[in-house]
Structure 1
Amino acid sequence: MLEIADTIELERPQDKLIRRLCTTLSGYLDQSQIDQCVRAYEVGADAHEGQFRKSGEAYICHPVSVAISLAEMRMDANGIMAAILHDVIEDTPVSKKELAEQFGTEVAELVDGVTKLSKIDSKSHAETQAENVRKMFLAMAKDLRVIIVKLADRLHNMQTLGVMPAAKKRRIARETLDIYAPIANRLGMNNIRQKLESLSFEAMYPMRHAVLNNAVKKARGNRRKIVDIIENTIKNRLEQAGLNCDVAGREKNLYSIYKKMLNKKISLADVFDVYAFRIFCDDVDTCYRVLGVMHNLYKPIPGRFKDYIALPKANGYQSLHSILMGPYGVPIEVQIRTHEMHRMSESGIAAHWLYKSDDDNKIEKFQDRANEWLRDLLEIQKSAGDSLEFIDNLKVDLFPQEVFVFTPQGAIIKLPRGATIIDFAYAVHTDLGNACVSARIDKQLVPLQTKLENGVTVEVITASWARPNPLWLNYVITAKARSGIRNYLKHFKQQEAINLGRRLLEKELLAMHLHLENIDKDKIQALLQVLSKQSLDELLEDIGLGNKMPFLVAKRIAQDDINATVKLDDGDQGQKKPLVIKGTEGMVITLAKCCRPIPGDSIIGYFNPGKGIVVHHHECRNSSVVRKKQTNWLDVEWSSDAAGDFPVELRIEILNQRGSLATIASTISELNSNIENVTVVDQDDRISVDLITLTVKDRVHLAKIMRRLKELSIVLKITRVKA
């Protein structure tokens, strides 16, 4: 291998880089695999011949530097070759097919996956960037090496930002902080995450970085004595307890110091008040024994202990964290973990290659966590309305602070802090989320919007008739719940529209003595062509949403020539029978809020294009406007078996005295009605005029309530608001 590398002249920077790569690869790959990597370099160097980076160096230096980063992670030969060739499809005439012929399908697919991602770098438009990030996750789902190559690529780009214009530096740094650093964190690659954050911070805020860096260096010198005292005290106590552990002071990186100062609005001195130490043990049992020793040595601060060994973070991170009150009254943060946990926390998913021989089971768990996350993201991206919505969901998913709750069976579910019962239900299963109506927390009934706390047991109560409510979107915070609700509502409204469109069209055809199922299929197909519709369902959905008038469609079907213009006779009045509604049809039939019709009222329906039918009271002022638009309204009537709770608004004049409103409320409650809203319209020393929105079953129920209220001595006047 070294002979091959030696044959390359050493004058050029790229020659030194390929030699360094070969030396690193010789530590874990066999000679034939290293030869393939050198061949990939030769193909890449030929393809990029004459191309230079802004710094002036040959372009091939960049992919080889990326490959060296991956070699240090002990990436396999195909991953190394993909890194060397990752820009050839995008920047040179070499095609994916040619790469497949020379290096195999696996390498070609990896290069193609990274190529799609590279477009993120050169686009600034939010929609395009979002679409490319979406592509990135599709490529990641096929092969995790795609994102590892991309992270190494981004790291080298950040390390060589120096020659870029300031505006471009800031844009690339912002993108790195928003997307790539959180992804590295989510995959447990702490080392790369910290490097990306520090480089981005320096690129975005060079002055702040320089000032903070100098201040930290000075503060570090002043702290050294205290750190040494605490470190020696910890080591001595552990030796006395017979525990063989390594102790090291932990350095905070500049970006995390900056974020803490910014978020908590504190000075650097306050950040440096916390002295941080890591204690590395040989096994898990020793970790908990060390924790006991530390709590004996220094008093723990209540509520500041976290056990990430029993309950690992979503990215697989494991450690015991505790804040203690140390000497001189300064807080001490200790992180206790095994050597293996530390290696995993630094390398994350890359440990799959880096430590493959150590403990395959634990590494597979890391891989499983990453794959599970990617499966969730794929489910989210399938139901996301567009790429920007997907990016919003992704950002929510990339920045969680976790709570741990239990199912009734004792399984642990991890959720972001602030998650509600609905988030929990969707985390367990999408079908459970779609059907939930309430829940019990530790056997106590609670509403669905209840925020979850650590350690509670949650039991979700479902019903076969239940369906997601659009209002849920106001208080769910997980991407899976948000996309699940949106996806259900989108398809549910579509199905409702199709069902309503079928009812409306069949009613019109019946008036013409026709039946939809008896219409010749060729005639239906010809109608769809004329109306530029792909399917009958699409046409029925248009009718249900009010975009097409059912009478005109029926008239076209009834006439012999489908292509002929529909002619309306003087006797044509549209529907001969009114449409019967129950008021519970869903989103395509809505009750107008201006007049709030209830069962028993005379009503009229108005087609609102794109939304369906809006039902008004016949006496509503807005209905007179509706009637003028002859083609857009239809007669509707209440079904005899309409059931449910319908809102209605009453205007009440009452004596303005203490307890009046309470008397009104208790009277309404006694008659099985619920008050939804109370608004004081006008008030003086003697009289108060109030608008009360309450729920009733029908007109009879409303009449009973109004009669009882009129009997009260405090009620001067009561009327129903119909407009």
Structure 2
Amino acid sequence: MDGSALSASEQGAGKPVPASGEPSGPPPVLSREELIAKVRAYHPRVRSELLGMAYDFAKKHHGEQSRDSGEAYYSHPVQVASLLADVRLDEVTIAAGLLHDVVEDTEIDIGDIEVRFGADVAELVDGVTKLDKLEFTSRETAQAENFQKFLLAMTSDIRVLLVKLADRLHNMETLHFRKKPESRQRTARETMDIYAPLARRVGLYDLAARMDDLAFRELNPEARRAIIFRLEELERENRGDLDRIRADLVRLLDATGIKYRIRGRRKQPYSLWRKLERKSISFRDVADLFAFRVIVSEPMDCYQVLGVLHTNWACIPDRFRDFISVPKPNGYASIHTTLRASGNRRVELQIRTETMDLTAEYGVAAHWGYKNRSYGFDLDSARAAGLDPDANLKAFAELLRDGAEPGEFLEHAKLEMYREHVFTFSPKGKLIILPAGAMPLDFAYAVHSAVGDTAIGARINGEEKSLRRPLKNGDVVEIIRGKTAQPVRGWEMLTHTGRAKSALRRLERERDTAEFRRLGEGLINQALRRTGADPVDVMLLDVARALGFRTLDDMREAVGRGRVQTAQIIQQVFPGYQPERTDDSAKTPIDSDHAPLFVEGNDLTPGVTLHLGACCHPVPGDRIIGVQVPEKGLVVHVSSCPRLAEYDDRPELWRDLKWTSLARTGAVAVARIRVNAANQRGVLAKLCSAVAESNGNITGISTASRHPDFIELMMDIEVEDLKRLTQILAALRSLAVVDRAVRDQEGQDDQ
């Protein structure tokens, strides 16, 4: 939309919209003609006969099938097609949306679809049908393997993913009709973990927000209702301030002569819940609880508006982001700034053009349109906006290339989808976009796998820095490389991205494989010499093949890993030979008295005494660091523990540590939480109820201080991991009686 399309009546249009309400009845189903008219509104040359045939075909073949809501089943593919039309996709995609369940749920096969509707439609339907057969809810290896298949299928044609996302959104909109609670919960969790993050990955923020909210409503209805209540309460309290700020904003913008329109928005419940989980802040301290969006015609207008606002209102420096100069990887572009407006009230403003707003709402789907008289995806337009679907999914393809185990792949792929970004540069000025929290090794692998494989150090902004130093926006990073490819010691604590972790695991596997082969070769040669044979005279390749190995190295590795005993090889070389004993036939177990149960590290001294830091109470999932304390042993700290500052000048005492699998799967830890709450009757019951509903177990409560208006409590809570702890903190922060709930660390900054 160009600037001329903006009218004065649009200026200031839109106020904060209410959060989505409780479930309602199903919306009316579009008729055949209504669906075609909806597509024709943005695609005048649409092949209406294709859509009409697909509509009639779906309606006929779904026949008497019905949904849990009681509606005729064909209403579902029609609603999916309508959602695809909302984001202005081409008729092939919309036809695939109409037909996406026909092959799976009726007697029709994919060949019938190709004959009637063409190869393009058939390929999309086939892709979506295969995705429908994948299950992500199992915690078994199959879950991760299916996710790999899912990503491979969707990268072949981005439209497969778009149809699947529309399908999932409509299924979530009707989820409340499903009778079994466990089925609803499983689908909601899958949506929150897989589909909503993928929608954000390709820029479909609105669709992702809708799926998140619907899943949140199912998974944690009490928290959602509490947040909506607090939002509405705060909106009523702040209505006068918001109206005054909006009026001042209109006055300032009118003086510029720029054509604009203003939209207000209120933060969605699930988005707010995530912020309460991540940050140690109270409900009222969320800076972007209410925000205004200023939409103009041209990029230069964005900066003129920014100048006017920063001239008249004080900017909060650490809340400024320019995503126009450096767009996000999914093409999102906008200026974000938080200001102290009239009345000293903080308000967030987003400034963008109409084109940017369209991309922000629809992501990759915003770039379907006419080019050379045909309607379809305009790759040039998308790349001009900073969005390349192929490049955007590159991180997933690289995880597959590095041969990650299915479980590792799923873990890292989810992390890739969720993270915000930090913008860094190579010494030559090349922009490298990384997830927030990334470290120099992550940067190295983002440049090239060979750079990461040989990285041994880093210079940041011209100074040599530790590899454990998180990168910041604007950092110029130069990687110091060694001569050989090998994993950096303690790399698990020095990496943040799935790509780096996967590549370094690959290096470790290659190193371990080489070591096991050398060990196996030595054991085999030693066993042969004990029989009086010279290893050179034995055709070991024939022996390997007789034992079912493809290569001699494969057999050597199996022996080195203990999967094959050298006695088996001797028996193959000399049938009937009875060895007296082989050195590897009796193995000494590790002394369990000296083996740490929950914490391990590559450079731990055998028998070292381990202590969990009482200052920071580490729990599984925390990044942990060990400090060798004389006369005491190794003290385990959370990597963010303030006590670590005491040892900044003693790097020789530091040890990189990680949690063992036992700690991650079969242990509980006690975390300490500090809560500031209203000093009123029943407050303790509310706090205990919130913890219990979040599956936490309170082992101790003490009063740190008590005042007429508020009370400060210390709560010791058993949790299985860091994720559970953040959920409990978020649940506490959502309570109206709680002003502040934070994890307690001795000496932490009280902000």
Output the TM-score relative to the length of structure 2.
0.69
Tell me the distance in 1 between the aligned counterparts of 2:568 and 2:29: 77
Is 1:111 equivalent to 2:125 in the alignment?
yes
Tell me the distance in 1 between the aligned counterparts of 2:401 and 2:160: 20
Counterpart pick for 2:417 among 398, 402, 422:
398
Tell me the distance in 2 between the aligned counterparts of 1:287 and 1:608: 74
Q: Pairwise mapping of residues 128-527 of structure 1 onto structure 2 (< 5 A)?
A: 128-165=142-179, 166-217=181-232, 219-261=234-276, 263-264=278-279, 269-271=284-286, 275-353=290-368, 361-365=380-384, 368-469=387-488, 471-506=490-525, 524-525=541-542, 527=543
Runs of 5+ consecutive residues of structure 2 not aligned to the other structure: 1-25, 595-602, 609-626, 634-651, 654-751
SS of alignment partner, residue 311 of structure 1: coil
Output the TM-score relative to the length of structure 1.
0.72
Change in Cα spacing, 1:111 to 1:229, as seen in structure 2 (3 Å) is same
Is 1:538 equivalent to 2:542 in the alignment?
no
Q: Per-residue deviation at 1:128?
A: 3.5
Contact 2:154/2:161 (8 A) holds in 1? yes
Q: Give 1 or 2 for the bigger CA radius of gyration.
A: 1
1:616-644 CA distance string (max 9 Å, x none): xxxxxx9xxxxxxxxxxxxxxxxxxxxxx
Identity in percent: 34
Counterpart pick for 2:577 among 551, 566, 573:
566
Choose 338-347 or 51-60, whichever is displaced more: 51-60
Tell me the distance in 1 between the aligned counterparts of 2:263 and 2:250: 10
Contact 1:25/1:71 (8 A) holds in 2? yes
Change in Cα spacing, 1:230 to 1:498, as seen in structure 2 (3 Å) is same
Change in Cα spacing, 1:383 to 1:466, as seen in structure 2 (3 Å) is closer
Instruction: Tell me which amino acid in the other structure corresponds to 1:407.
Output: S
Tell me the distance in 2 between the aligned counterparts of 1:102 and 1:650: 72
1:538-589 CA distance string (max 9 Å, x none): 11212333444557635743x4xxxx33334x7xx87xxxxxxxxxxxxxxx
Partner of 2:631: 680
Q: CA RMSD in A?
A: 3.6
Is 1:18 equivalent to 2:37 in the alignment?
no
Instruction: Tell me which amino acid in the other structure corresponds to 2:66.
Output: F
Contact 1:231/1:248 (8 A) holds in 2? no
Change in Cα spacing, 1:130 to 1:193, as seen in structure 2 (3 Å) is same
Instruction: Tell me which amino acid in the other structure corresponds to 1:565.
Output: G
Tell me the distance in 2 between the aligned counterparts of 1:30 and 1:508: 80
Change in Cα spacing, 1:262 to 1:510, as seen in structure 2 (3 Å) is closer
Tell me the distance in 2 between the aligned counterparts of 1:105 and 1:482: 40
Tell me the distance in 2 between the aligned counterparts of 1:540 and 1:567: 21
Q: Per-residue deviation at 1:298?
A: 0.6
Change in Cα spacing, 1:14 to 1:344, as seen in structure 2 (3 Å) is closer
Contact 2:96/2:124 (8 A) holds in 1? yes
Tell me the distance in 1 between the aligned counterparts of 2:409 and 2:136: 20
Tell me the distance in 2 between the aligned counterparts of 1:212 and 1:337: 29
Contact 2:191/2:211 (8 A) holds in 1? yes
Q: Per-residue deviation at 1:155?
A: 0.8
Instruction: Tell me which amino acid in the other structure corresponds to 1:391.
Output: L
Change in Cα spacing, 1:366 to 1:504, as seen in structure 2 (3 Å) is farther
Q: Per-residue deviation at 1:222?
A: 4.5
Change in Cα spacing, 1:445 to 1:141, as seen in structure 2 (3 Å) is same
Change in Cα spacing, 1:161 to 1:551, as seen in structure 2 (3 Å) is closer
Q: Per-residue deviation at 1:304?
A: 1.8
Contact 1:383/1:483 (8 A) holds in 2? yes
Instruction: Tell me which amino acid in the other structure corresponds to 1:83.
Output: G
Partner of 1:27: 41
SS of alignment partner, residue 233 of structure 1: helix
SS of alignment partner, residue 31 of structure 2: helix
Q: Per-residue deviation at 1:309?
A: 1.0
Tell me the distance in 2 between the aligned counterparts of 1:124 and 1:649: 38
Tell me the distance in 1 between the aligned counterparts of 2:170 and 2:586: 56
Tell me the distance in 2 between the aligned counterparts of 1:608 and 1:396: 43
Contact 2:467/2:494 (8 A) holds in 1? no
1:73-128 CA distance string (max 9 Å, x none): 22122211211121123222322233233333332222222122223468545544
Change in Cα spacing, 1:363 to 1:231, as seen in structure 2 (3 Å) is same
Q: Per-residue deviation at 1:331?
A: 0.5
Instruction: Tell me which amino acid in the other structure corresponds to 1:537.
Output: D
Change in Cα spacing, 1:212 to 1:466, as seen in structure 2 (3 Å) is closer
Instruction: Tell me which amino acid in the other structure corresponds to 1:152.
Output: A
Change in Cα spacing, 1:355 to 1:179, as seen in structure 2 (3 Å) is farther
Is 1:90 equivalent to 2:104 in the alignment?
yes
Tell me the distance in 2 between the aligned counterparts of 1:477 and 1:79: 37
Q: Per-residue deviation at 1:156?
A: 0.5
Tell me the distance in 1 between the aligned counterparts of 2:520 and 2:512: 12
Tell me the distance in 2 between the aligned counterparts of 1:262 and 1:524: 58
Q: Per-residue deviation at 1:291?
A: 0.9
Change in Cα spacing, 1:105 to 1:535, as seen in structure 2 (3 Å) is farther
Q: Per-residue deviation at 1:350?
A: 0.7
Change in Cα spacing, 1:32 to 1:469, as seen in structure 2 (3 Å) is closer
Choose 196-205 or 30-39, whichever is displaced more: 30-39
Partner of 1:81: 95
Counterpart pick for 2:77 among 56, 63, 75:
63
Contact 1:298/1:324 (8 A) holds in 2? yes
Tell me the distance in 1 between the aligned counterparts of 2:229 and 2:607: 69
SS of alignment partner, residue 250 of structure 1: strand
Q: Per-residue deviation at 1:454?
A: 1.8
Change in Cα spacing, 1:93 to 1:509, as seen in structure 2 (3 Å) is same
Change in Cα spacing, 1:255 to 1:13, as seen in structure 2 (3 Å) is closer
SS of alignment partner, residue 473 of structure 2: coil
Q: Per-residue deviation at 1:537?
A: 2.2
- Residue correspondences, number: 577
Contact 1:117/1:133 (8 A) holds in 2? no
1:638-696 CA distance string (max 9 Å, x none): xxxxxxxx999999xxxxxxxxxxxxxxxxxxxxxxxx9675389xxxxxxxxxx99xx
Instruction: Tell me which amino acid in the other structure corresponds to 2:207.
Output: I
Tell me the distance in 1 between the aligned counterparts of 2:41 and 2:607: 83
Change in Cα spacing, 1:76 to 1:517, as seen in structure 2 (3 Å) is farther
Change in Cα spacing, 1:496 to 1:101, as seen in structure 2 (3 Å) is farther
Change in Cα spacing, 1:280 to 1:607, as seen in structure 2 (3 Å) is farther
Q: Pairwise mapping of residues 644-683 of structure 1 onto structure 2 (< 5 A)?
A: 679-680=630-631
Is 1:553 equivalent to 2:566 in the alignment?
no
Greater relative CO, 1 or 2 (CA 8 Å, sep 6+)? 2
Instruction: Tell me which amino acid in the other structure corresponds to 2:56.
Output: E
Contact 1:394/1:479 (8 A) holds in 2? yes
Q: Per-residue deviation at 1:211?
A: 4.8
Q: Per-residue deviation at 1:373?
A: 2.9
Instruction: Tell me which amino acid in the other structure corresponds to 1:431.
Output: A
